[in-house]
Amino acid sequence: MSLALKKALYNISSLLDLGEETTSSKNFTTRIQSALYVIMGTFLTSRGAIFSYKVEDDSLAMVVRNDFNETGALRKALSSDYLRTLGKNEPFILKAGHDDDDEMPLSFRTALVESGTEIIIPLWVKDEFIGSITLGGKFTAQDYSAEDRELMKIIAHHIAITLNNHALIDDLTVQLEENKRLYKEMRLIYHDTLQAFAAAIDAKDVYTKNHSQRVAKYSVAIARELGMTEMEIEGLYIAGYLHDVGKLIISNDVLNKKDALTDSEFKVLKSHPNLSYDIISKINFPWKDVVQVIKHHHERLDGRGYPDHLSNSDLSDSAKILILADSFDAMTSDRPYRNNIGLQAALEEVKRCLGSQFDPRIVGAFCRVLDKEIRGELTNPDILPHLDKNFDASIITSLLETITEELSA
């Protein structure tokens, strides 16, 4: 095999090495450092560096190097406009007697020669300046050949694309972080708005003050205990806050009436889930089923609820959670027509309505989380802080155990 053929095979092998290194799953700096080693090994130089153009301050930053000193003069020279007047991805030889361009400014030439640079290649992708490769002289003291320069063009193009891709990913990462920040900010504003809206709903009736907030919190506690996704939990939180929004349209006389409601008044009151639905369905929520969950918070498993008389299989877990959370809070808070019935009586009522009004699996999760809160196992309890503290913990935990045992039987 001739020497020329052997060299050609070595060069092809080097290009394969370059492709493999630049597309590997290693981190960016390792990939570029490896690429520099490939270039050095291909052109037999022990000195080289790769620079990346930084648009923000219009300068070149050294990404990787080997036996190459970065000096202020070099940085200044490389950042000058002159570099960009050279041919795109074309190697320029700076060695005495081999100058490609006699018009090169002296300061530019001096800085590069002093740094040990013998070849400089401006890197471009289409019309975008990306950076540069600088290489020292060959270890063998031979000149760079015409073949070397042709190979360098291919390699330069490859490195330019690698640097450009990284810059694009960097830009996307920055954009992504900014979007995440904006999303977080919008989410906070959204939640603040939601709470203000819920306060307006609850303000219609002094007896139901903070009812929406409590229902939201209870629902979230149950959903977490059931291992629902964050998306599902957030949807329930929203539904909890807004489930009674339809009451804004209902007369205060009906809402706050202390005596028994007439049939027509009761009919008006029972219209609030549909009114809530009408209002909320105008909003395009990113959370699945929020509108349906709100509409169905007065349904029952046995089909005797309202407004659609749905039964067990028609109701989602989220709807069943809201049904329980809403009823439990109604029982444990004062209403115009009665005082709260207390935690023990509320739990006994929940137990009595298992399977008819409340889903046993949802009740099981509710009992478990309440038990954990009473035992102090949860650092941020969602239910206990809102309950009347006038209860016997041992009686309640015993009752919760009874319900849990009954459910697991």
Partner 1 sequence: MKPTNFSLSSRIVGDVAVIYPKGYLNNITGENLVEECSGLIGKGITKIVLNLRDVEFINSIGISMLLTILERLKESSGSLCFTDSKKMFRDTFEMLGLTVFVHVFASEDEAFQHLASGGRA
In the complex, least distance from residue 144 CB atom to partner 1, rounded to whole angstroms: 14
Do residues 298 and 216 touch, judged by C-beta distance below 8 A?
no
Work out whether 409 is an interface residue with partner 1 (CB under 8 A): no
Selected binder of partner 1 within 19, 114, 139, 302 (CB under 8 A): 139
Site membership for partner 1, residue 22 (CB under 8 A): no
x-or-dash pattern for partner 1, window 99-138, by CB under 8 A? Answer: ----------------------------------------
Q: Does 145 bind partner 1 (CB under 8 A)?
A: no
Q: Does 13 bind partner 1 (CB under 8 A)?
A: yes
Query: How far is the C-alpha of 30 from the C-alpha of 35, rounded, in Å?
Result: 8
DSSP state of 335: B
Query: Measured between alpha carbons, how far is 25 from 203 in angstroms, rounded to an integer?
Result: 58
Q: Is 154 in the site for partner 1 (CB under 8 A)?
A: no
Q: Give the residue among 105, 138, 103 at the shortest CA–CA distance from 119.
A: 138
Q: Which stretch binds partner 1 (CB under 8 A): 2-10, 186-194, 231-239, 358-366?
A: 2-10
Q: Is 147 in the site for partner 1 (CB under 8 A)?
A: no
Segment contacting partner 1 (CB under 8 A): 15-23, 159-167, 236-244, 364-372? 15-23
Between 38 and 321, whose beta carbon lies closer to partner 1? 38
Q: Does 255 bind partner 1 (CB under 8 A)?
A: no
Could you tell me the smallest distance in angstroms from the CB atom of residue 237 to partner 1?
47
User: Using CA atoms, how far apart are residues 241 and 201, in angstroms rounded to an integer?
Assistant: 9
| Buried/exposed 160-183: b ≥16 CB within 10 Å, e otherwise | bebbbebbeeeeeeeeeeeeeeee
With beta carbons less than 8 A apart as the criterion, state whether 122 and 87 touch. Answer: yes
Other residues' Cβ atoms within 10 Å of the Cβ of residue 129: 16
| Least Cβ distance, residue 74 to partner 1 (angstroms) | 19
Binding of residue 41 to partner 1 (CB under 8 A): yes
Phi, psi (degrees; rounded to nearest 5) at 55: -60, -40
**CA distances from residue 35 to 14, 83, 88, 91 in whole angstroms, order as listed:** 10, 22, 19, 17
Q: Which CB, 139 or 337, lies closer to partner 1?
A: 139
Nearest one of 400, 236, 212 to 317, comparing CA atoms = 236
Applying CB under 8 A, the span of 18-26, 183-191, 255-263, 273-281 interacting with partner 1 comes to: 18-26
38 binds partner 1 per the rule CB under 8 A:
yes
- Contact at 8 Å (CB) between 299 and 306? yes
37/197 with CB nearer partner 1: 37
Are 105 and 83 contacting, i.e. CB atoms less than 8 angstroms apart? no
- Of 65, 74, 140, 231, the residue at the interface with partner 1 (CB under 8 A) is 140
Tokens coding 16: 């394969």
**What mask of x and - would describe binding to partner 1 in positions 65 to 104, judged by CB under 8 A?**
-xx-------------------------------------
Rounded-to-integer distance, Cα 153 and Cα 139, Å: 21
Asked if 339 interacts with partner 1 (CB under 8 A), we say: no
192 binds partner 1 (CB under 8 A): no
Closer to partner 1 by CB, 34 or 208: give it: 34
DSSP for 263-276, written as a single string: HHHHHHHTTHHHHH
Segment contacting partner 1 (CB under 8 A): 40-48, 78-86, 342-350, 368-376?
A: 40-48
**Rg of the chain's alpha carbons, rounded to an integer?**
36
Phi first, then psi, for residue 66 (nearest 5°) are -145, 120
Binding interface with partner 1 (CB under 8 A):
3, 6-7, 10, 13-14, 17, 20-21, 24, 26, 30, 33-34, 37-42, 44-47, 66-67, 139-140, 142
